[in-house]
Structure 1
């Protein structure tokens, strides 16, 4: 299973923050939580 579809739907201005948040949680083995916006196939931003 690939996460590529999720990354492709993500709003460009949210990609960097999300990408930075994942390794930090993995390194410290802490709960990971991050909010970001996506653009659905119909063009709706959620």
Structure 2
């Protein structure tokens, strides 16, 4: 495998990791919003 191919493969892996991190952040945000809504209900 050429150096170019290795760098290209590394970039693809990095992009996949970033995508997974963004999905995880989205999930955390949904959970945080749900938690806020639950907490708000309990305060009333």
Larger Rg: 2
Q: Normalising by the residue count of structure 1, what TM-score does the alignment of the two structures yield?
A: 0.34
Structure showing greater relative contact order (alpha-carbon pairs closer than 8 Å, 6 or more residues apart): 1
